[in-house]
Structure 1
Amino acid sequence: MRKQSAVVARILKLGTLISTFGFIGSTLIQIFARFLLESAPSWTEEAARFFFIYAICFAAGLAMKDNYYVYLDLVYNKLKESQKKILDLAISFFNLILFLVLGIYAIPFVMMAVTEKSPSLRMSMSLAFASIVVMALSVGFYAFLSLLKKLRKHQ
């Protein structure tokens, strides 16, 4: 499982980097055009939006992998150790279920948008909506690994 996790992490890092640089690049083109040209190209705003969405969706899996999400531990710290173990397992389990359900329901959503085109870039909107599937699969994958790790630890 470690090998698969490392491959998924590399893909997510690469996707995050490419999306972030695409976002920065399209935003810089728009800034340059607004100040130095007669008019800014209409596609830069839409491209920046697509790149931003994908950067967030790729990075969401990495945040789950490295446990970077914010936790509210006011109540958690007051629990007994046995209750903390149960809560940790429940959180991992429900994260997995949540992102599996999200992924399953996102696929028909993506399929419905195949014929829809974005206004400026004229790209299929299913490309934008596929980011939901990317996020659901990556976060779900790392939620599954987290659940397995916690199950092994608590046996």
Structure 2
Amino acid sequence: MTAMIRWMRALLRLGTGISFMVLIAAVTVQVVGRGFVGASPVWTEELTRFALLYLAGFGTGLALLTGDLVNVDLVSEGLPGRWPWLLRLVSAGLVLGFCALIIAPAWQFTRIGAMQTSPAMGLPMNYAHGSVLLLLAVLALAGLLRVTGMLTGATDGRPENLVGEIE
């Protein structure tokens, strides 16, 4: 289980990094074009939006796996006994449940995008709409790995690097 979580984390880091590099490249072309040439290519606006969508798609699952997603640790971690662990488990289960609930409509949304094209780049919009499907699938898988890891004892569901913690 630990190896699977590590593999998933590495894959999500790679996807997040590539999305961020594409974003940086597109914005650099925009800045150079506007600052030194007088105009930037139209496609850079669209590529920037697509890169941001995929950055969120990969990054959200990664944040859940590492524990960097927004939590209410102040409340849950102050409770006695196994309550904090139980609340982390329920939270991961709810994330998994909600994602599972809306993944079919996201798939339908993505399929509809195949009938449309982006105005500047001419790509089928299912590439952009697919980022929502990616986000839900990755978040659901991260939730499943977290629940499974907690139930098998591979992880306790706590964030990896808590701010202010002394090692």
Q: What TM-score, normalized by structure 2, do the two folds share?
A: 0.82
Match of 1:70 in 2: 70
Which letter does structure 1 place at the counterpart of 2:103?
G
Match of 1:18 in 2: 18
Deviation of 1:3 (Å):
4.2
Match of 2:90 in 1: 90
Match of 2:164 in 1: none
Please tell me the root mean square deviation across aligned C-alpha atoms, in Å: 2.0
Q: Is the counterpart of residue 152 in structure 1 residue 146 in structure 2?
A: no
CA distance in 2, matches of 1:118, 1:17: 24
CA distance in 2, matches of 1:137, 1:111: 15
> What pairs with 1:3-152 in structure 2 (closer than 5 Å)?
3-152=3-152
CA distance in 2, matches of 1:9, 1:152: 18
- Structure 1 stretches of 5 or more lacking a match? none
CA distance in 2, matches of 1:6, 1:72: 25
- Structure 2 stretches of 5 or more lacking a match? 157-167
| Percent of aligned positions that are identical | 25
Which letter does structure 2 place at the counterpart of 1:73?
D
Provide closer, same or farther for how the CA distance between residues 77 and 38 of structure 1 changes in structure 2, counting only shifts above 3 A. closer
CA distance in 2, matches of 1:92, 1:20: 26
- Could you say what secondary structure the match of 1:123 adopts? coil
- Could you say what secondary structure the match of 1:146 adopts? helix
Preserved contact between residue 112 and residue 126 of structure 2 (Cα < 8 Å):
yes
Q: Which moved more, 1:66-75 or 1:4-13?
A: 4-13
CA distance in 2, matches of 1:20, 1:78: 36
Deviation of 1:152 (Å):
3.3
CA distance in 2, matches of 1:60, 1:7: 16
Deviation of 1:78 (Å):
5.0
- Could you say what secondary structure the match of 2:62 adopts? helix
Write the deviation string for residues 40-62 of structure 1: whole angstroms up to 9, x where unpaired.
Answer: 21111111111111112111111
Structure that is richer in helix per residue: 1
Deviation of 1:20 (Å):
0.6
Deviation of 1:77 (Å):
4.3
Q: What TM-score, normalized by structure 1, do the two folds share?
A: 0.87
Preserved contact between residue 60 and residue 69 of structure 2 (Cα < 8 Å):
no
CA distance in 1, matches of 2:80, 2:152: 20
CA distance in 1, matches of 2:106, 2:54: 15
